[in-house]
Amino acid sequence: MQQVVSAGDRLFAALTTSVKQGPNCVTGFESDCKAGVAWFVIRPEFDDGRLSASVRHQGYVSVQGENVFFPSIAVNDEGRGAIAFALSGADFFPSSAFARFTSDEVGPVKIAAAGVAPEDGFSGYAFFGGNGSARWGDYTAAVADGDQIVFATEFIPGGRRLLLANWGRSLVMSRSMEKMTTSDRPGLSKKTTNKTVRKRAAKSGPFIVQE
C-alpha cells in the first residue's frame, strides 16, 4: 500500500490486487487474471478507549485486458479527489493513469502520460540478480490541497535513457476536481509542446512532466 489519507472522519486507501477478467482465473496468476486496484473508505471510532473501524465503501478499478497497479489516493475534506496509478498491458506501454474519486464511486480511467516503450530497467536482468521483471512503482504519490490535486507516477517517456533505467516520472496537477490536466515541466510555459518537453527531458534525465 502506497499511502493512506485521512479526510474528515474517514480513512481512504488503495492497493494493488488481482482481478478476474475471464474464466481462466483461479489462483490469481492465470491469463485472465490482471492487476487491479482495490480501494476502501474506512471510518475509525474510539469507544471507551477501544479502537474499532468499519468499511463504509469499497470497490475496484480495472481496465479490461490491461493491468493497473501501485495506486496512490488523494482526497479533500469533502471526500473528492483522484486515484493515480500505473497502467500497462497488451495495448499500453507502462503509462501514467488516474481516475476521479468520490467517497462512494470512481470515474473512468484516463491516461495522464502515455508510455512509449517497454520498461527496460537494470533490476530485471539476471546479471543484476533479476528474473526478467524489473522493479516498478516505488515513485507514486498523490496529495489534495482544497480543490487542487497533484500526483506523480512512473511511466516510460522515451528520449535518451540512463545507464540503468529508462523510466520517468509524470507529474500531474489539477486546479479543479472536475478537470484533471497534465502540467508542464517546472519553468515551462503552458504553450510548450510535448516535442519541446521531450527534447529537454532527453538532456536532463528521467524526470518529465507532460502537457
Mind listing the pLDDT tens digit for each residue in 22-67?
A: 999 988 888 899 999 999 999 999 888 899 999 999 999 999 999 9
Q: What is the predicted pLDDT for the residue at 158?
A: 82
Asked if residue 107 lies in contact with residue 48, where contact means CB atoms within 8 angstroms, the answer is: no
- Taking the C-alpha atoms of residue 141 and residue 72, their distance in angstroms, rounded to an integer, is 5
Residue 210 — φ and ψ, nearest 5°? -105, 150
40 has which bridge partners?
13, 58
> Which residue from 108, 105, 103 is spatially nearest to 68, judged by alpha carbons?
108
- Taking the C-alpha atoms of residue 140 and residue 142, their distance in angstroms, rounded to an integer, is 7
Over the stretch 2-18, which tens digit does the pLDDT of each residue have? 889 998 889 999 999 99
30-39, 80-89, 138-147, range with the lowest pLDDT: 138-147
- Taking the C-alpha atoms of residue 30 and residue 6, their distance in angstroms, rounded to an integer, is 36
Q: What is the DSSP string of 39-93?
A: EEEEEEEEETTEEEEEEEEEEEE--TTEEEEEEEEEE-TTS-EEEEEEEEETTEE
Exposure b/e, 113-124, CB count within 10 A at least 16 = b = bbbeeebebbeb
- Taking the C-alpha atoms of residue 139 and residue 168, their distance in angstroms, rounded to an integer, is 10
This prediction's pTM: 0.79
CA distances from 157 to 59, 112, 123, 163, 188 (A): 30, 12, 18, 15, 17
Task: Tell me what the mean pLDDT of segment 106-116 comes to.
Answer: 93
53 has which bridge partners?
44
- Taking the C-alpha atoms of residue 41 and residue 180, their distance in angstroms, rounded to an integer, is 22
Q: What percent of the chain is predicted at pLDDT more than 70? A: 82
Please tell me which residue, 202 or 176, carries the higher pLDDT value.
176
Residue 178 binned pLDDT confidence (cut-offs 50, 70, 90): low
Cell triple for residue 50? 477501544
210 pLDDT more than 50: no
Residue 146: burial class (beta carbons within 10 Å; 0-12, 13-18, 19+): exposed
Q: What is the predicted pLDDT for the residue at 49?
A: 87
